[in-house]
Amino acid sequence: MIIDKWLISKDSLEKLFNVLKKDSKKIYAPVGRNGKISFRETDRFGEIDTGYIQTAQSSKEVVFPRTEKILDYNKNKDGVSVKGFDPGSIPEVVLWGVRPCDAMGIWKLSAIFNWDFKDEIFNTRLSRVTVVGFSCARADEYCFCTSAGGGPGNTEGSDILLTQLGENGDYLAEILTEKGSAIVTIASELFRENTVLNKEQFLADVPVRFDREELRVKLEKIFESGCWTKQSLRCLGCGACAYVCPTCACFDIQDEAHGGSGMRVRCWDSCGFSLFTLHTSGHNPREVQSQRWRQRIMHKFSYMPDRLSVYGCTGCGRCSRACPADMNMLEHLISIQEAEA
Amino acid sequence: MDDLRKRARELLEIRAVNVVIGYEQGTSGRKRAFFAEKPEDAEKLVFDSTCIQNLASYVTKREIRDKGKIAITATLPVMRSIIQLASEHQVDDNNLLVLGITSESRLIEFSNLAEMETFVHQYQIEIDARHREKLEKLEKMTPAERWKFWIDELTPCFKCYACRAACPMCYCQRCTVDFNQPQWIPVPSHQLGNLEWHIMRAVHLAGRCVDCDACYNACPLGIPLNLLTKKMVEDAKSHFGGYQPVLNGEHLMSTYKPDDKDNFIE
């Protein structure tokens, strides 16, 4: 639902950034390092990269950090004292420069973290994030958002979505939530009346490459197909795809003990790892990589839509870009549709 | 690379091997690993200077091993990796045929690993000028500066273990980081966990790393992990007179001699 539409000039973006900074919010934005662009905390507008098609890492870390403390514990003579999650420790954050596929990813994570158990830590973080999305004027051959239910100007998940109206042009600002409205309120002098009727002409062309409903139905029939082994032969079994993915949410619980005290943390985990499903008995129900690869696809395109009514993929293409073995998600999904049961 | 395609086709036709590991055209101009199992698959094989993934990682992978006899397209770093793997009893000479590719992109087939070793030993592992410059810069730093450099570089690591997966020498069925009773290395990718992982990985590769850069090329975050392993290659040179993987003989770092001049191990 679009509450409002405004225009903001290109030159006013820095002013907007500074207003948000002054509003004592932490700002995470795309910043380059070692040739890779990722969301990092920054207070300098000039540091933000603008030429990226997609960041190397997704923005999920702001709501689902790679390492999150769940509790502190201390063993003493009276037993064990536990200090749980402190909502006061979670800062107000602005996610700046989020692509529509990533914004949609946050919304999908929310479906996971509120499926049966309502995850307080995730929900607290989410409640304190304002997403300033930027539409895509360019895409590359890894992008397939339009096949994943999104699009280069998709508003889902953003609080405010900015679309540049041509190269060096001003920006259309679509205000989508109350958090978005709050931004306009504190920086009202930067926004002016909108005269643009159609943003579509300024968006990247991302052709639809497959039908995900058809794919979901197909997946129900090909659990035992040889396609999984064929596709995954070159997979090296690392977790790069899962860790750059905006919707992968699997985690592992670890205790970090120092004598009688310590903390319990949840850490990202990946179904690509052989350890992921290893049982205490030594039995591993997914003992080879093809079974792990199948799980990755099934989870995103079959189990999640069945259970959560959302697909576990936004078509951002990061997994394909990050994979050291060129396991290209789009290519594999298209070939699955042609696979024999 | 018509020679390579022709030879791969022949080998598959006469069932001399069950699979030929090579490269094929990947996506976005990348080249990627390819496993030719039928004679007609050989047509897909390609080779050029962009074929940089170290294919030796696949010869210890269970699904590939299970296929039976393997032929592998091998550039110099891949050949070095195979020698090191063989010396660690991870590959069987009778089960592996090496289709070597020289620096001039010429196909050179070896009838056994010893013949390949003779070829490989004509060349020394040399750190290129660009990386040597980076290493010199690191060496000139004070310990505090160097510490900061590595903290800054390693902090972004999220422990996807792509470096481990891409490295042919990381073939352990169960890596030390995957043990949790006891937990040797912290699982979380916080500062300490990251440092311990990368230091352990680097040290485990001392005297074994063939300087192929697979770990760096695999890192989705572009962390210069290969500076650690390259430094060890340099140290091997300055302290031990150089390093060259050998099929039979002493391992640089893990051979104990009773007459060793250092007695710390006694």
Residues, chain B:
266
What is the average per-residue pLDDT within A240-266? 95
Judged by a CB distance cut-off of 8 A, whether residue B192 touches chain A is no
pLDDT band at A11 (very low <50, low <70, confident <90, very high): very high
| Listed residue (A275, A199, A232) closest to B159, CA to CA | A275
Q: What percent of chain A has pLDDT over 90?
A: 88
Identity of the residue numbered B5: R
B127 contacts chain A (CB < 8 A) = no
CA–CA separation, A40 vs A61, rounded Å? 10
Q: Do residue B28 and residue A233 have CB atoms under 8 angstroms apart? A: no
Contacts of B223 in chain A (CB under 8 A): 34
Write down the pLDDT at residue B240.
81
Cα gap B55→B59, rounded to integer Å: 8
> Which residues, 6 or more positions from B113, have their beta carbon under 8 angstroms from its beta carbon?
B82, B83, B86, B93, B96, B98, B247
Q: Do B160 and A326 touch (CB under 8 A)?
A: no
State the pLDDT at residue A198.
86
Q: What phi and psi, each to the nearest 5 degrees, are found at residue A161?
A: -115, 125
pLDDT bucket at B220, cuts 50 / 70 / 90: very high
pLDDT (mean) for A213-242 = 96
**C-alpha–C-alpha distance, residues A155 and A157, integer Å:** 6
B258 has a pLDDT exceeding 90: no
- The domain ranges of chain B are 2-120, 129-240
Predicted confidence (pLDDT) at residue A218 exceeds the cutoff of 70: yes
Instruction: Using CB atoms, pick whichever of A57, A239, A254 lies closest to residue B187.
Output: A254
In A, which residues are within 8 Å of B153 by CB distance? 34
> How many separate domains does chain A show?
1
Rounded mean pLDDT of A320-327? 97
* Minimal CA separation from A195 to chain B, in Å: 39
pLDDT at B1: 75
Sign of CA dihedral B125, B129, B131, B136: positive
Point out the residue among A244, A267, A324 whose CB comes nearest to the CB of B187.
A267
Model confidence at A60, in pLDDT bands (50, 70, 90)? very high
Summarised one tens digit per residue, pLDDT across range A20-51 is 998 878 999 999 988 899 999 999 999 999 88
Cβ-in-10-Å burial (0-12, 13-18, 19+) of A309 comes to exposed
Residue B183 has pLDDT above 90, yes or no: no
pLDDT at A34: 86
What residue type is A257 in one-letter code?
Answer: A
- Least CA distance to A142: which residue of chain B? B28
β-pairing, A251-258 vs A191-193, is unpaired
Smallest CA–CA separation between B69 and chain A, in Å? 16
- Please tell me if residue A281 touches chain B, with a CB cutoff of 8 Å: no
d(CA A146, CA A340): 26
**What pLDDT shows up at residue A2?**
73
Nearest to A67 among B58, B189, B218 (CB): B189
pLDDT over 70 percentage in chain A: 99
Q: Residue B258 contacts by C-beta under 8 Å, 6 or more apart in sequence?
A: none
Tell me what pLDDT residue B184 has: 83
- Residue A142, chain B, CB below 8 Å: the answer is yes
The residue of chain B with its CA nearest to that of A36 is B221
Q: Give the pLDDT confidence score for residue A330 in this predicted structure.
A: 97
pLDDT of residue B251: 79
Amino acid found at A245 = C
Domain that holds residue A263: 4-60+67-338
Strand A36-41's sheet: what is its strand order? A36-41, A26-33, A93-98, A129-134, A160-164, A171-175, A4-8, A191-193
For residue B193, which residues of chain A lie inside 8 Å, CB to CB? 67
**Topology given in CATH for the domain delimited by B129-240:** Fumarate Reductase Iron-sulfur Protein; Chain B, domain 2 (1.10.1060)
* Least confident stretch, A99-113, A186-200, A319-333: A186-200
CB within 8 Å: A267 and B188 = yes
pLDDT tens, residue by residue, A168-209: 899 999 999 999 999 999 999 999 988 777 899 999 999 999
Q: What is the pLDDT of residue B265?
A: 60
Percentage with pLDDT > 70 across chain B: 99
Beta-carbon separation of B160 and A270 below 8 A: yes
Instruction: Please state, in angstroms and rounded to a whole number, the distance separating the CA atoms of residues B250 and A283.
Output: 37
**Cα–Cα distance, A144 to A166 (Å, whole number):** 22
Residue with tokens 């999150």: A68
Model pLDDT, residue A269? 97
Would an 8 Å CB–CB cutoff place A66 in contact with chain B?
A: yes
ipTM of the complex: 0.94
8 Å CB contact between A277 and A250: no
* A309-331 average pLDDT score: 97
Q: Which residues of A touch B159 (CB under 8 A)?
A: 66, 239, 243, 268
Q: Residue B188: which of A56, A243, A265 has the nearest Cβ?
A: A265
Percent of chain B with pLDDT over 90: 77
A chain contacts of residue B53, beta-carbon cutoff 8 Å: 324-325
Nearest CA in chain A to B222: A34
B220 to A242: CB separation less than 8 angstroms, yes or no: no
* Mean per-residue pLDDT over chain A, rounded: 94
Under DSSP, the state recorded for A275 is G
Chain B residues within an 8 Å CB radius of A56 = 220-222
Under a CB-based contact definition with an 8 Å cutoff, are residues B196 and B186 in contact?
A: yes
Q: Name the residue among A16, A1, A69, A55 with its Cα closest to residue A192.
A: A16
**pLDDT tens, position by position, B85-135:** 999 999 988 999 999 999 999 999 999 999 999 999 999 998 999 999 999
Contacts for A202 with CB less than 8 Å, ≥ 6 apart: A135, A137, A163, A164, A165, A166, A169, A172
User: What is the C-alpha to C-alpha distance for residues A24 and A18, in angstroms, rounded to an integer?
Assistant: 10
Report the pLDDT value the prediction gives residue B266, as an integer from 0 to 100. 57
B154 at A interface, C-beta within 8 A: no
Tokens in use for B28? 């976005």
